[in-house]
Structure 1
Amino acid sequence: MSSVSLRRVANSPPKPLLLFDGDCHFCRRWIERWRQMTGDAVDYATSREQGANFPEIPPEEFANAVQLVETDGRVYGAAEAVFRSLGYARGGRWLRWCYERVPGFAAVTETGYRAVAKNRMLASAGTRLLWGHDVRLPTYSLTRRIFLHALGLVFLCAFLSVWVQVDGLFGSRGILPVSEFLPAVAAHLGDGAAYELPTLFWWNSSDAFLHVVCGAGTLASLLLLAGLLPLPAIAVAFVSYLSLTIAGQTFFSFQWDILLLETAFLALFFAPARWWLWGRSGAARVSRVGLFLLKLLLFKLMFMSGVVKLTSGDDSWWELTALNYHYETQPLPTVLGWWAHQAPEWFGKFSTAVLHFVEIVVPFFIWMPRRVRLLGAGLLIGLQVLIALTGNYAFFNLLTIALCLLLIDDATWRKLTRRRTRV
């Protein structure tokens, strides 16, 4: 439970005021983050600036911990001051609730606060190591724009690939004609067939309509790639590709087809409801829920890719010999894949160990501070590049890289752009 403040000041501020030690570099960094979170709801000042206005607070208290002065004159210090101030942030009430209501939460956080306060230099070094010099909350407006452009490119590759093959795969004279498949499904499932297998081809399964759907998906992909009408473009691309996936039967049973549909569906909650992606429209508020769900999809994809290998019952993954067979049995190995297959056995075992690390351990970097998250992005993207160089997995690697781009915040993109401009 929250402690009741026994200290009051006579000169209560018009807004909650958090006082901190201005000589502490560690404090100043985190105050900037909290200021960003609380906005105008809380004022911030150093003890040198306004400490004299509150003689009821002993000067040594400012050196030991931050002090929150509420509008009713009550004063709270240390971790309680932090959680109470963050409780004024948008969506931050749960932090204060945890401090006040969750058993043991207050005791643990106060102990942690005292430990950090006594070791500020170490805490400051840890902050620089994990976050860098800027610990403010990352923004993702530019990231969203880049991701949606990349998603448009992936969709374009997918639709063009299908379009040139659609007649031979599931056209009326193809290998698995959709015009025969859907009536058979309807006869088996009855009235629920359209709900079980949602596709536009229930309405029309002619060859001409197959091309119409491919064309609509391609047009939507181009619009998304150009940054125009992002939400409608994603919706049309999703419905079109879902329809083709159902109609394509066995030909669309691959992991990347389902992944593209999952990504597109979640992107509907991430894309801005604007006409285009650049300018002020592109800077519209980024949905935290949409971003979280897409990151969760990436985590699930990578982590489960690693887990399924070790739980498959194939001892070669545990013995680190799986890559001895992988390169020659994968889809359409490249020239580099042939060379990788000729590598010494020790290299194959080392590569398999690295693969396990990247797929099972690195996905947790997604949820960590900036520098660790960026390291994770680099490792995950690097893995996808290596896979693409040695084998052919259609647009799977490109789509996975697009998801990895969500781990790179706006500040990092701008820094990379500045470096490129200098070069």
Structure 2
Amino acid sequence: MNSQMRVANPPPKPLMIWDGECHFCRRWIERWREITAGEVEYAPYQEIADRFPEIPREQFQRSVVYIDKSGQVFVAAEAVYRSLRCRPSKKWLWWSYQHIPGFAAVSELGYNFIARHRGFASAITQLLWGKDVRPPTYFWAHRWFLRALALVYLIAFVSLWIQIDGLVGSNGILPISDYLSLAHREIGYKTVWILPTLCWFNSSNGFLHFLCGSGVLFSLLLICRIAPAISLGVLFVSYLSLSVAGQAFLSFQWDILLLETGFVAIFFAPWQLWPRSATAAIRPVSPVAMFLLKFLLFKLMFMSGVVKLTSGDNCWGWINHSFHWSALTALDYHYWTQPLPTVFAWFADKHPEWFKKFSVAFCLVVEIIVPFFIWAPRRPRLIAAGLIIFLQLAIAITGNYCFFNLLTIALCLLLIDDASLRRASPTYAPVAASRGNHRSHRHSAVKSLALLHRTEARG
């Protein structure tokens, strides 16, 4: 349909008209309704088509129809992009449709294909999203990720506190005061930026204990959701100071991961002093911080797999740019050589050879392929979370990697959205709170229909 077409009685608010008998349409209209947040009204053509005789009924059956306040009519993919442009995060779709060569043609081609195969599209939607395709919310993940991170911090500070004197104290293995003095003498004033630590001001044993004690205190405050952003800031600075002071003792992968996660979490945490009551309004989760934390999990898993294949060690089965099942022998040695094997590592080492090879292949799949599902719709994303958590538990059972596995599992919590929990527990409150404006959308739709009736009557 020509986008220059207009209707004689335009709606008071932009209106999206859809096929009320289409199950696939109903699902996606609910998603768009939340994205547009009341800026656009929605109505099935079965109830409203008679108000716009200029638009053929067949057009309503073929595609969605969008009518703006001036009465201009848009259909199909153009209608979708036009309606979504009211949200700043979606304006790029409409801009691309107008300015990028080929984008409009591909969009319309894709829309027409889906419109002709709605049953298939509905099945795919069910497979990937489930019954709820609305934009996901992460209130549960937000709360429990921060608590899990606080627990990791608590473990890190407590375990270090009881060893700090012997490791980097004045009479320790690598005294921090000697280390900083030597670094300053060799490098000069730039050392402060190269080795960022509060120990430049005080490197005594008492101050090292103060840093550890501060970490324990603010970890407990974070668990109780007291001043979460401030607590995370103090925790990051304290652990960064201790990790520099710890030298070789705190330069492991899990120490770096904790610093990266802790820094991003500062911007993920709510800026409040006291825990909010259950009836208080729930603030949206920062999408930028959420993306960065998910990307951190993606980077951790993907690079863990890539580094294995690029190490040049044939035990990972990668020989001459191809996989060889017979060469998957990494676990033949892993259980003997890993940090502090547990009693379960002995039993794991007794598994049949085929099971060890399968376990190596499974590890590579989870680390290299599964991370891409972090960015997928709900069901593949939940599968990715489950597989990564399973792998981390298996590693933790057979070896001692400090808090590394627990921290990775904490990051996996961010892949679990509220709709998943609502399906498991219908009484889950944050989802209901986050969807609380859904009723107001329906009310505004009814109000819009009434206005249309009055407009037509005046005409």
TM-score range, shorter chain: over 0.9
Normalised TM-score (structure 1): 0.97
- The CA RMSD over aligned residues, in Å, is 1.4
Tell me how far apart the structure 1 counterparts of residues 175 and 129 of structure 2 sit (CA, whole Å): 55
Tell me how far apart the structure 2 counterparts of residues 125 and 334 of structure 1 sit (CA, whole Å): 46
What secondary structure, in the 3-state scheme, does the structure 2 residue paired with 1:91 have? helix
Query: What residue is the counterpart of 1:202 in the other structure?
Result: 200
* Offset of residue 416 of structure 1: 3.7
Are 2:215 and 1:217 aligned?
yes
Percent of matched pairs sharing the same residue? 59
Query: What residue is the counterpart of 2:363 in the other structure?
Result: 355
* Offset of residue 6 of structure 1: 2.8
Are 2:326 and 1:327 aligned?
no
Q: Say if 1:176 and 1:375 are closer, same or farther in 2 by CA, change over 3 A.
A: same
Query: What residue is the counterpart of 2:309 in the other structure?
Result: 310
Query: What residue is the counterpart of 2:133 in the other structure?
Result: 135
Are 2:143 and 1:163 aligned?
no
Tell me how far apart the structure 2 counterparts of residues 286 and 268 of structure 1 sit (CA, whole Å): 12
Deviations 1:37-86 (A, max 9, x none): 00111111110221111100000000000000011111010000001101
* Offset of residue 281 of structure 1: 6.2
Tell me how far apart the structure 2 counterparts of residues 93 and 134 of structure 1 sit (CA, whole Å): 24
Query: What residue is the counterpart of 2:407 in the other structure?
Result: 399
Query: What residue is the counterpart of 2:373 in the other structure?
Result: 365
Count of aligned pairs between the two proteins = 418
Deviations 1:120-177 (A, max 9, x none): 1111011111000010011012210010000000000000000000000000000000
Tell me how far apart the structure 2 counterparts of residues 42 and 418 of structure 1 sit (CA, whole Å): 29
Tell me how far apart the structure 1 counterparts of residues 275 and 419 of structure 2 sit (CA, whole Å): 18
Query: What residue is the counterpart of 1:374 in the other structure?
Result: 382
Deviations 1:78-111 (A, max 9, x none): 0000011011124221111111111111111111
Tell me how far apart the structure 1 counterparts of residues 421 and 44 of structure 2 sit (CA, whole Å): 33
Contact 1:145 1:282 in 2 (8 A): no
Q: Say if 1:9 and 1:269 are closer, same or farther in 2 by CA, change over 3 A.
A: same
Contact 1:377 1:405 in 2 (8 A): yes
* Offset of residue 391 of structure 1: 0.4
Tell me how far apart the structure 2 counterparts of residues 141 and 163 of structure 1 sit (CA, whole Å): 33
Q: Say if 1:168 and 1:282 are closer, same or farther in 2 by CA, change over 3 A.
A: farther
Match of 1:52 among 50, 53, 70: 50
Contact 1:37 1:90 in 2 (8 A): no
Q: Say if 1:281 and 1:176 are closer, same or farther in 2 by CA, change over 3 A.
A: farther
Task: Tell me whether 274-283 or 142-151 shows the greater mean CA deviation.
Answer: 274-283
Tell me how far apart the structure 1 counterparts of residues 188 and 281 of structure 2 sit (CA, whole Å): 45
Deviations 1:294-326 (A, max 9, x none): 000000000000000000000110121111111
What secondary structure, in the 3-state scheme, does the structure 2 residue paired with 1:127 have? helix
Q: What is the one-letter code of the residue matched to 2:410?
A: A
Query: What residue is the counterpart of 1:172 in the other structure?
Result: 170
* Offset of residue 351 of structure 1: 0.4
Normalised TM-score (structure 2): 0.89
Deviations 1:199-220 (A, max 9, x none): 0000000010010010001111
Query: What residue is the counterpart of 2:228 in the other structure?
Result: 230
Task: Tell me whether 276-285 or 265-274 shows the greater mean CA deviation.
Answer: 276-285
What secondary structure, in the 3-state scheme, does the structure 2 residue paired with 1:40 have? coil
Query: What residue is the counterpart of 1:111 in the other structure?
Result: 109
Unpaired segments ≥5 residues, structure 1: none
Tell me how far apart the structure 1 counterparts of residues 424 and 225 of structure 2 sit (CA, whole Å): 21
* Offset of residue 278 of structure 1: 4.4
Contact 1:20 1:65 in 2 (8 A): yes
Tell me how far apart the structure 1 counterparts of residues 425 and 275 of structure 2 sit (CA, whole Å): 18
* Offset of residue 411 of structure 1: 2.1
Q: What is the one-letter code of the residue matched to 2:164?
A: V
Are 2:351 and 1:343 aligned?
yes
Tell me how far apart the structure 1 counterparts of residues 10 and 370 of structure 2 sit (CA, whole Å): 49
Q: Which has the higher contact order (CA 8 A, sep 6+)?
A: 2
Query: What residue is the counterpart of 2:297 in the other structure?
Result: 298
What secondary structure, in the 3-state scheme, does the structure 2 residue paired with 1:331 have? coil
Contact 1:366 1:376 in 2 (8 A): yes
